[in-house]
Amino acid sequence: MSILLKEFERKESAPAAVPDGVAKPGWLKVRLPAHPHFFQLRDLLQDYKLNTICQSARCPNMADCWSARTATFLLLGKTCTRRCAFCAVAKGKPEPPSPDEPQRVADAVAALDLDYAVLTSVTRDDLADGGAGHFAATVRAIKARSPGIKVEVLIPDLRGNKKALRTVIESGPDVLNHNLETTESCYPLINRPVEHYRRSLDLLTEASLMGSTTKSGLMVGLGEDEAQLLRTMEDLVKAGCRLLTIGQYLRPSKNHVPVRKYYHPDEFDRFSKIGMELGFRLVEAGPLVRSSYRAARMYDTLARDQAEQDAVSGLR
């Protein structure tokens, strides 16, 4: 156990849920869309008949991101085969994948003139490969349509299928993201089997061993204590994960798991510093941070730092 983890190790019960009707802290306020780019992007997505996780998951950053003409494309429909208790995405029986979706996404990315594209999907346990082939086809279509573009994929756990993971990686994404979501102790709270925690870590380990730049995301406020959070961060570092996002869990509705704590921005700053000390190359942490928040900036910073390190190594 690290010194950092020992510093925060303590036994305590999960805090009570934040009472219904209690106002969110001021730092969680988001602005309404007003920039013309927001509405242009909305119309473009409608024209290409595409989905985004921004809409399906009710992301609080949608106004900011869309105003900057960035969005995270949601592949394989809008219906998820799992029933995670924190997520606003629709659950149920999904429709078959749309064979022309990869090209439609590639055309939309070109129309937006993006330098960096982020792809994610609902979880599709009904598909033999979990949707890996569809991810791969979309990455290839984007890179063929827009040479030089960088692509990040935020994938589900693919039920631990290494062959499916390799299919995604061989298509050439520049970052492979898979969210661990929360601490191992909180998995039952979000309606996930505890063993899925290790399955996700194994997926990130395998992706790292296959040469991918790996990234993951955590949400806080579900009832974890700091010792559990730091242990989770250590698990991710051991799995080869080098990029991390940490954000505040926000309850989509009364039918979802309640918030147990609103973390102050200063606490997120501290988590970011601790993450860097633990071994992450970059940590983006804040109340409204989400998995793909400022993804391009994280990648550019990582690439610049790596180039500087390579230059220094070349002078030795």
Is 43 a member of any domain?
A: yes
| Residue 16: inside a domain | no
Is 152 inside a domain boundary? yes
Mean of per-residue pLDDT scores for the chain:
87
| pLDDT computed for residue 37 by the predictor | 66
Residue 9 pLDDT: 44
Q: Is residue 295 part of a domain?
A: yes
Residue 21 lies in a domain: no
The pLDDT assigned to 50 comes to 78
Residue 228 in any domain: the answer is yes
Query: DSSP per residue over the chain, as a string?
Result: --HHHHHH----PPPPPPPTTPPPPGGG--PPP-SHHHHHHHHHHHHTT-EEHHHHTT-TTHHHHHHTT--EEEES-SEESS--TT--SEES-PPPPPTTHHHHHHHHHHHHT-SEEEEEE---TTSTTTTHHHHHHHHHHHHHHSTT-EEEEE---GGG-HHHHHHHHHT--SEEE---BS-GGGGGGGT--THHHHHHHHHHHHHHHTT--EEEEEEE-SS--HHHHHHHHHHHHHTT--EEEEEE----STTSPPP--PPPHHHHHHHHHHHHHHT-SEEEE-TT--TTTTHHHHHHHHHHHHHHHHHHHHH-
pLDDT in tens, 168-217: 999 999 999 999 999 999 999 999 999 999 999 999 999 999 999 999 99
Asked whether residue 112 is assigned to any structural domain, the reply reads yes
Angle separating helix axes 226-238 and 195-209, nearest 10 degrees = 30
Q: Is residue 122 part of a domain?
A: yes
* CATH code of the domain in which 61 resides: 3.20.20.70
Residue span of the structural domain in which 101 resides: 3-10+30-315
The residue ranges of the chain whose pLDDT is under 70 are 1-15, 18-23, 30-37, 53-70, 313-316
Please give the tally of structural domains in the chain.
Answer: 1
pLDDT at 306: 83
pTM: 0.88
